[in-house]
Amino acid sequence: MANNNVQPIFILPEGTTKASGMNAQKINIEAAKQVADQVRSTLGPKGMDKMIVDALGDVIITNDGVTILQEMTIEHPSAKMIVEVAKTQEDEVGDGTTTVVVLAGELLKNALPLLEKGIHPTVIAKGYRIAANKALEILNSDIAKPITVKDKMTLAKIAETAMTGKGAENSKEMLSQLAVKAILDVAEDDVVDISNIKVEKKVGGSIEESQLVEGVIIDKERVHSGMPRNVENAKVALVNTPLEIKNTEIDAKIQITDPMQMQAFLDQEEAMIKKMVSKVVNSGANVIFCQKGIDDLAQHYLAKEGIFAARRVKESDMGKLARATGAKIINNLEDLSKEDLGHAGNVQEVRIADENMIYVQKCKNPKSVTILVRGGTSHVAEEVKRAMDDALGDLAATLNIGKVVAGAGSPEIELAMKLKKFSESLSGREQLAVEAFAESLEVIPRTLAENAGLDPIDIVAALKSAHDQKQITYGIDVFSGKVKDAWKMGVIEPLKIKTQAVSSSAEVAIMILRIDDVISGGSSVPDRDQGSMGGMMPPGM
């Protein structure tokens, strides 16, 4: 006989909430859509900016997708997953963060009607994987065009495309030339390590005063006013050891009973400092950058010898100095020799915006360069720096992959149309998922049109008509409101922006769709007396 008085068993702590099945999926999809909606209006040349004010009152004005999402306080776990996708896009390419977030949101939005029809999430996930793989294949084989380091005009167009719609847009021609020159300076065998390009910003002056230094700018100043401010034909020593008397690693006392002992002690210290300085002098160096400290007495002797010195230089800057000048970083001053020195045409201390900076420039064949961006306010300078970072990221991604695509929404429309045709070759419910994926890709041109104040239905229809006629580079000219050849307009993007956006957005959408339970932990702590059964005992036991 059944026992109707069995008490319920609670396996989770008090206060725990749980959403299951379709309810959990709807909550997750809605969270992802809200994140996408936060940045959607920033997409494209006519995208708007966001003002973010933090708890301390600091203000950030930007239309950079990843910056907006990082500065917002997002709590929902699914929403955080979308933010992670934007960060991945930023790390891998440096641009396209808004695109990947908007696309991920649309993939999840278009999956919801399929779920409501009773299609299992794993079937949708399989269809999305098939579509993503096919999309990557189409991008590489049918849409992308090859490019080399010699095609400077196309590289400049890529940089300009990255800056269009940002705070630096009015000066994009000049800034794009700086970006291309910097990339070509550090490129080795058509491969670019973007870490060898330093972007330094300084408030004051106009954006047009931004400049490229074929060398390194260090945000430091010479350690002694008696040192030369400007050194021509600089022989540069890089030292990762202090030019000062080291403290003992253990506590120690020196007992002095005679004034003469005290003087002898000081004389010995001075002799040790002199020996260090003589090592620098004997090497032939007239400029020294030290990653550690430089003693006051050492500063005095270096100044007397006419040697320019800077201390506590960041490790990252030391690496860039080594790449720019060809110097070796020395860990022991005893080992410093003429062969370890680097060379620069000029090293000087320059005053910019009430601060001193050190320019190490005119280096022979520098493999590390610096772009100094200027702006009338801190907000402008920061936004110009972000635009420059995007342009450099796009150029590096272009040369490292060697392929580009036309922009302005043209690759997304071409992909959408070819995926819809491809879906007809499939049988089973995966076909519906591939169609949903294809429809989701249309969100990019549709959003570009909306943000430009155009009718998205008319624009998408015109795009499809052009692509039906094999005009695969046709996209939206948001300034004229017409459909034109994006390649001829100079709207060009790296292939990697599109491939990374497609693969990342598909992966996060699949991951979120496969979640059928959302369990939010309670605040209660299990009773220790219950041991491993804590939180699993029914009430009253």
Residue 235 bridge partners (DSSP): 343
pLDDT at 167: 66
pLDDT at 525: 43
- Low-confidence stretches of the chain (pLDDT < 70) are 1-21, 63-64, 167-168, 190, 245-269, 517-541
Residue 390 falls in the annotated catalytic set: yes
245's torsion region: left (phi>0), alpha (psi -120 to 50) or beta?
Answer: beta
- Per the confidence metrics, is the pTM higher than 0.75? no
Which is catalytic among the residues 42, 62, 64, 394?
A: 64
Tell me 294's DSSP state: B
Contact call for residues 153 and 538 (beta carbons, < 8 A): no
pLDDT at 93: 78
Residues contacting 48, CB < 8 A, separation 6+: 41, 42, 63, 451
- In degrees and rounded to multiples of 5, residue 472 shows phi and psi of -75, -10
Residue 342 bridge partners (DSSP): 236
Residue 508's nearest CA partner among 36, 18, 32 is 32
Which is catalytic among the residues 42, 62, 98, 499?
A: 98
Domains annotated on the chain, with CATH: 21-146+405-516 (1.10.560.10), 148-207+369-399 (3.30.260.10), 215-365 (3.50.7.10)
pLDDT at 402: 85
Which is catalytic among the residues 62, 67, 97, 325?
A: 97
Residue 185 falls in the annotated catalytic set: no
pLDDT at 7: 65
* Percentage of the chain exceeding pLDDT 90: 0
Angle at 248 between CA 242 and CA 252, to 5 degrees: 150
Residue 95 falls in the annotated catalytic set: no
Residue 64 falls in the annotated catalytic set: yes
pLDDT at 533: 36
Which is catalytic among the residues 390, 394, 473, 477?
A: 390
Residue whose pair of structure tokens reads 């695509």 in the numeric block: 405
- What would the pLDDT profile of 378-422 be if each residue is shown by its tens digit? 778 888 888 888 888 888 888 888 888 888 888 889 888 888 888
Residue 306 tokens, joined: 């006419």
Residue 317's nearest CA partner among 346, 291, 336, 340 is 291
Cα(462)–Cα(115) distance, rounded to whole angstroms? 31
